Structure 1
Amino acid sequence: MAIEKLPDGRWKADIEPVKGKRFRKTFKTKAEAMRFESTCRAKVVETPEWSPRLKDTRRLQELIDRWATLHAHTLSDGDARRRLLDGMAKDLRNPIAIKMTGKQYAEYRAKQLTQGANPKTLNNRLGYLRSVFNVLHQLEEIDYPNPLARVKPLRLQEKELAYLTDAQVEHLFAVIHERCRTPHVAMVAAICLATGARWGEAQALTPERVGGGLVTFVNTKGKRVRSIPIDPLLEQQIHRHFKLHGTFSNCLNSFDKTLDATKLVLPAGQASHVLRHTFASHFVINGGNILTLQKILGHQSLAMTMRYAHLAPDHLQDAVSFGPQAWKNAFSSEADPR
């Protein structure tokens, strides 16, 4: 029998339009089962290779597993991101992925906020989970739209980018030379200040990557090789350091402790990164081109570099020159300061 009623009240369609090709599916009503039967018989006549697509009932964790298999190996932080996504699936109670809604995720995020989660961290998590659906859709692993496409990231207060004055830089190196026992700290800090490099990029330099008036960073955050011109004196000092002390060791903790000893007041999270901000800030203050700075810092997006634009000597001065001048009519002749 092609359609039969099951003990639980549902209707089962069991159809074999041609020998050896059989379709089975269960429905709530007989009418739905009959429509399915008609569709199958008609489609098989039109297209013998046709087969109805099975409903995707995989849960979120199963999709994360597939994402990890197909894509995580292409990321430098694939394992760490996988662990984070696994935790999110558990916190979201591992829903059927195709039925997941933006509201469901928004409720999860609101709960995380009440528990003290950092808003920026939650924005990162939203991006990571969106990426799971986007990547699997691109690879044709799923055929439905991203359920989180309409969830907006939290609006964040822009953080202050602190930088050191020349006097503060002098104080920093005085404390490094006085208190720090690790010989590499001063040289790595100098490279960061002279090139805008991240601490890890400078710390990974080797003798063969310093020469010809350039330092070449290869283990960059953006995964691109970046060569930056340096002063001849700095080049000499770097090679002299390598001869005396060997290649750099991991000395970030030593720098952080020394920075604490300087009593310099910095925004939270800006320890060694203040050296990079100091380079960028002084570069712009001294009239450097913002597009050149983008290349030096290795920013993939100009928006990241534009955070320093307000430090330029002529930043927004056109507001005075080119804005409407009629505001001057607001003052009577008695108010003339002359």
Structure 2
Amino acid sequence: MAIQQTPDGRWKVDVEPVKGRRFRKTFKTKGEAQRFESTCRIKCIETPDWSPRPADVRRLTALVAAWFDLHGHSLRDGLRRRSKLDALAKRLGDPIAARLDPQVYAHDRRVRLEAGTTAKTLNNELGYLRSVFNELRGLGQIDYQNPLALVKPLRIQERELSWLTAEQIAELLESIRSGCDNPHVEPIVLICLATGARWSEAEKLKLTALRAGVVTFSGTKNGKVRSVPITAKLHNLVVRHWKRHGAFTGSITSFRRALARTSIKLPRGQAAHALRHTFASHFMQNGGNILTLQKILGHSSLAMTMRYAHLSPDHLSDAIRFGPLASFDTLSTPNEKAPENI
């Protein structure tokens, strides 16, 4: 018999529509079993090589492993992503990936947000997890929709970019020179301030990266190589430093200690990155071109660079020239008569 009820109340299909091709599957209802039997008989007649695909019951960690094997290994931060994805899968209970419940994910996200994890970190993880499903579907590894496709990322309040004034730069350099035991900190800081480089980009510069007064950064965040000229004075300082101390080594901890000895207060997460903001801010304040700044910083889109546009002299002067008080010669105090508007 093709369909038979099992002792637990379910319905088992055992059908052989073509000699040598046998299909077995168990369903909760008799109707589902009958539809499966009918489909198998029709499909095998119309398409002899047809076979029903078994349900994908791989766990989320198994899917992450498949993603890394087929795609993630080629990414510059692939190992870091896999580590985060494995940790996320563990927190979610390593469910069957095809049955990942968006509500379970959203609850875990809320708990972590309330525990202090930043919204940006959580949005990054959501993007990584979506990428696993999207990439594997594109590669034919899965045939179902991304279960988190409709989950919206958290809305992030844009933070004010912190940058150092000339006085603060002098204070920071004095702290580094007077109390820092790591000789690499000062030249790295100077390179960041002179080129707008990220700390990691300056820290891993090779001896061949400085030629004819031009610093070339490779292995950047967006994978592109960019070159920025520096002064002859800084060029000679870095060359002398490398001859004496060798290539730069990890120095971020020493930099943070030097920064902590100053009166400078920066938002969380903007310690070393404030050097990059400082270059961009001073560049615009001194009349630099926004398109040139985009190339120097290596931004893939102008929208990222436009964060600094409000610091340009034209932008600042326009606020005065075109504001509602532009027609007033002076502003009166509470005890003074307001001047007539001429």
TM beyond 0.5: yes
Q: Secondary structure at the match of 2:315?
A: coil
Aligned length: 329
Equivalent AA in structure 1 for residue 167 of structure 2? A
Q: Secondary structure at the match of 2:4?
A: strand
Deviation at 1:153, TM superposition (A): 1.2
Contact kept? 1:60, 1:96, Cα under 8 Å: yes
Equivalent AA in structure 2 for residue 9 of structure 1? G
Measured against aligned partners, the alpha-carbon deviations of 1:175-221 in whole angstroms (never above 9, x if no partner) come to 22222233222211111111011122112223321112311112322
Q: Which moved more, 1:159-168 or 1:309-318?
A: 309-318
Measured against aligned partners, the alpha-carbon deviations of 1:217-275 in whole angstroms (never above 9, x if no partner) come to 12322222221122223222222222233222222222211111122122222222111
Q: Secondary structure at the match of 1:315?
A: helix
Residues in 2 aligned to 1:242 and 1:270: alpha-carbon distance in whole angstroms: 27
Deviation at 1:317, TM superposition (A): 7.4
Answer yes or no: is 1:171 the counterpart of 2:136.
Answer: no
Answer yes or no: is 1:239 the counterpart of 2:231.
Answer: no
Deviation at 1:319, TM superposition (A): 8.4
Deviation at 1:104, TM superposition (A): 2.5
Answer yes or no: is 1:4 the counterpart of 2:43.
Answer: no
**Other-structure match for 1:97:** 97
Please list every run of at least 4 consecutive aligned residues from structure 1 whose deviation after the TM superposition is greater than 4 angstroms.
316-323
Equivalent AA in structure 2 for residue 337 of structure 1? N
Measured against aligned partners, the alpha-carbon deviations of 1:76-123 in whole angstroms (never above 9, x if no partner) come to 332332222222222212222222232232122122233333322222
Change (3 A) 1:169 1:318: closer
Percent identical? 58
Residues in 1 aligned to 2:206 and 2:234: alpha-carbon distance in whole angstroms: 14
Written as runs of structure 1 = structure 2, the 5 A alignment for 1:284-295 is: 284-295=284-295
What's the C-alpha RMSD, in Å, of the aligned pairs?
2.4
Residues in 1 aligned to 2:89 and 2:207: alpha-carbon distance in whole angstroms: 46
Give the structure-1-normalised TM-score: 0.89
Change (3 A) 1:94 1:257: same
Contact kept? 1:179, 1:258, Cα under 8 Å: yes
Equivalent AA in structure 2 for residue 312 of structure 1? S
**Other-structure match for 1:202:** 202
**Other-structure match for 2:122:** 122
Contact kept? 1:204, 1:219, Cα under 8 Å: no
**Other-structure match for 2:259:** 259
Equivalent AA in structure 2 for residue 270 of structure 1? Q
Deviation at 1:322, TM superposition (A): 9.5
Any unmatched runs of 5+ in structure 1?
324-333
**Other-structure match for 2:215:** 215
Equivalent AA in structure 2 for residue 250 of structure 1? G
Q: Secondary structure at the match of 2:228?
A: strand
Any unmatched runs of 5+ in structure 2?
324-337
Give the structure-2-normalised TM-score: 0.88
